[in-house]
Chain A
Amino acid sequence: MSNLSRRGILFGGTAVGAGVLLSACTSNDTGEDDKQAESQTKVGGNNAEPGKKVTIGFSAPAADHGWIAAITNNAKAQAGKYTDVTFNAVAAGKDVPEQRAALETLIQQKPDVIVLLPHDGAQMTATGRKAMEAGIPVINLDREFSEPLAYRTLIKGDNYGMGVAAGTLIGQKLKGNPNAVIAEIAGIDELPLTQDRSKGFKDALATFGLKVSNRVAAKFTVQSGQEVTTNLLQAAPKIDALWNHDDDQGVGVLAAIKQANRSEFYMVGGAGSLDAMEIIKRDDSPLKATVTYSPTMASSAISLARLVAQGKGLEDLVELQVPKLVVLQSETITKENVDKYMPLGFRS
């Protein structure tokens, strides 16, 4: 046995040594994150003048991809811009029950206002209502509660509008060519947001007399994007236009396009990541445009939350209070205007 344990020690020592060596390889710091979130904040006008001190409670799902990570970073950075705001973020964990538990704790602490991006809007509605009943206004971010009583203000992106924007762009390119091959690479098919995007795309194309001829669904991940695109390109030997719902998975989509050596089509992305914008700017791949679904909405939500808590309105509007509903416009980024949007891009 002594022989064995000596070998064990040797093995263990090697493993630990290699571990130490390897751990040096985990550094990833580019110092980019802070800078990026910093550029996605905005403070100005009379609304920005310091007012009553307020505490903003914040909860969003744990980041599992670039977009959600950008949401949390943006919210934090925007709150940091105000001298009269105390930012109190609670970890929302990986699912609805965890987020619910975190929110209940937050409600006990009685912040002046809560900004909430739920895991699932419908399932978090009751919690939103509970906060409202406790006298804490809730700013519902992006994923909508199933009843308006559960939020003070809803600020969200426009999934249907995103599909419409992409469909309109492609429709204008291809109108008068009813046989055009239009492909669509969706995200996770089970999600309502994917269905809304696809419906908007279909409706917009229909106004030009066009339709989607090949549709595949990836999973918002780079790897799934690469895999379904390889197959899609194999299924369609010639494509005129392609819309990819999500720039995060777009990294894989573009890899597959390059590997298949294809470039005959006009490609539109979705969400508006920094990677996608850089590629659009370089103009050296089929990706020529992207339609936004911007995580800057988190910065705006913090601003709205502060105004709600201070009882102020939006200064350019006549009303004395913040509006109940804000839906962001899905904007179209092309080579012409990409420089303007670059500061709003997020790293996937």
Chain B
Amino acid sequence: MTDLAKPASEAPPEPHGTDAPRKGSFWTDDATEPVRRNLGLVGVLLAIWVVGAITVPRIFLSGEGLWNNELIVLQQSAAIGVIAVGMTFVIIGGGIDLSVGALVALTSVWCTTQATQAFGPAGMVFTAILVGAIAGLVNGFLIAYGRVVAFIATLAMLVAARGLAQLISGKRTQRVNIENVGITDIAENRILGIPILVWMLLVVAAVGWVLLNRTTFGRRTFAVGGNPEAARLAGINLRRHTVALYVLSGICCGIGAVMVVAQATAGAPDHGDLYELDAIAAAIIGGTALAGGRGSIVGAILGVLVFKGITNLFIVNNLEQEYQLIVKGAIIVGAVLLQQFRIGSLPQLRKSAT
């Protein structure tokens, strides 16, 4: 561990490494690693296309067919992609948010009650984002000020938010009223030939990328997750920053819920089932370290696309779903193994072992 200072100085994009004694930070010296990982994920996407071209040439070998198919994959990735952006922030900041699926359910229900729908589409979107933000605030306060472990606090929120969603909806499906067609249009209409859902994903991902990589807030997020003690000594208000991260995740859930409501034309307490696992898996295979301090928005989005691309590939091939679950499991394990044993770092691994 003697050469800690040197690699840190070579890694300007991740400044938290400067005084990080954590073992994991030792590997962050490899500045090109995120790029290589993302290229790997793009490679997986290309492999999906190749398999698609061989098995379903009708779709994958016609320009229009491929375009439409990929737009469908993108639309299906949109909601979970937005949520994965929030999740990436939380995980980089050293936390975890298990409540995202339940928050999608809660916000979808809250924004589709008759009382909310009376305020029109704008009111519904506003309510969804506000409810998501407040739930995130509760998560953040419990974790930062109540000193509850993130895993437990958000697990409690997972249970409670779904219960509240069931209570509000009376366990029914709440259709979007006909006069609020503005909401369902989100899933049906296109701007410049690209579905609105995809635009929303692009905008959220772009804002997330800038926030993470080009602002003080982003640099602090890396610092808080990479080495909390050093971050605190550097004058960062750890608690406030933690709260902000969970609020951010909650807002992403609110936006995601609007997208889900648009697609399903309804809010329901069983929306967002197991989204927490999808979002965490996407963040992890996108190169976000579960221990915090490292991660990438682009990687998380690519992770979502890989998952949805595989689902799509199996269904257009008319294959049973059980196989795709096994393939997805293998991809998660493969990505994490890759994270632990980076080819470029092998010589250093040997050196540090001696």
Contacts and interface: CB of A to CB of B under 8 A. Distances in A.
A64 B270 contact: yes
B188 A26 contact: no
Interface residues of A, number: 52
Interface in B98-145: 110, 113-116, 127, 130-131, 134, 137-138, 145
Given A65-B270, A230-B72, A28 B113 contact: yes
Contacts of A255: 184, 187, 263-266
A328 interface: no
Contacts of A335: none
Label chain B's interface by main secondary structure.
helix
Interface in A16-59: 18-19, 22, 24-30, 33
Given A28-B114, A217-B321, A226 B316 contact: no
Interface stretch (B166-174, B208-216, B222-230, B337-345): B166-174
A237 interface: yes
A213 B315 CA distance: 12
Nearest to A8: B145
B137 A25 contact: no
A66 B169 CA distance: 11
Nearest to A221: B270
A14 B175 CA distance: 30
A223 B59 contact: no
Nearest to B164: A26
A18 B72 CA distance: 37
B311 interface: yes
B271 A231 contact: no
B315 A221 contact: no
A122 B68 CA distance: 47
B273 interface: yes
A62 B173 CA distance: 15
Contacts of A219: 273
B173 A28 contact: no
A296 B113 CA distance: 27
Contacts of B170: 28, 33, 69
Contact of B137 (A15, A22, A254): A15
Contacts of B58: 237
Contacts of B130: 18, 22
Nearest to A248: B173
Contact of B272 (A15, A22, A223): A223
B315 A231 contact: yes
Contacts of B266: 222, 251-252, 255
A224 interface: yes
Given A15-B137, A25-B127, A234 B72 contact: yes
Given A66-B173, A230-B72, A235 B316 contact: yes
Nearest to B105: A223
B282 interface: no
A223 B272 CA distance: 8
B69 A234 contact: yes
Given A66-B173, A348-B173, A24 B272 contact: no
B315 to A, nearest CB: 4
A70 to B, nearest CB: 10
A66 to B, nearest CB: 6
A325 interface: no
Label chain A's interface by main secondary structure.
helix
Given A25-B116, A222-B268, A230-B72, A216 B315 contact: yes
Contact of B175 (A27, A63, A275): A275
B76 interface: yes
A225 B115 CA distance: 26
A29 B263 contact: no
B264 A222 contact: yes
A230 B71 CA distance: 11
B312 interface: yes
A237 B316 CA distance: 10
A348 B172 contact: yes
A231 B273 contact: no
B318 interface: yes
A222 B265 CA distance: 9
Nearest to B321: A217
18 contacts: A22-B110, A24-B115, A26-B110, A27-B114, A28-B115, A28-B170, A64-B270, A65-B172, A214-B318, A222-B271, A223-B264, A223-B268, A230-B75, A251-B173, A255-B187, A255-B265, A348-B172, A348-B173
Given A221-B271, A222-B268, 20 more contacts: A11-B137, A15-B137, A25-B115, A27-B113, A27-B115, A28-B115, A28-B169, A33-B170, A65-B270, A66-B171, A223-B263, A223-B264, A223-B270, A228-B315, A234-B68, A234-B69, A252-B263, A252-B264, A255-B184, A275-B175
Interface of A: 8, 11, 15, 18-19, 22, 24-30, 33, 62-66, 68-69, 189, 213-214, 216-217, 219, 221-228, 230-232, 234-235, 237, 248, 251-252, 254-256, 258-259, 275, 347-348
Interface of B: 58-59, 68-69, 72, 75-76, 110, 113-116, 127, 130-131, 134, 137-138, 145, 166, 168-175, 184, 187-188, 260, 263-266, 268-273, 311-312, 315-318, 321
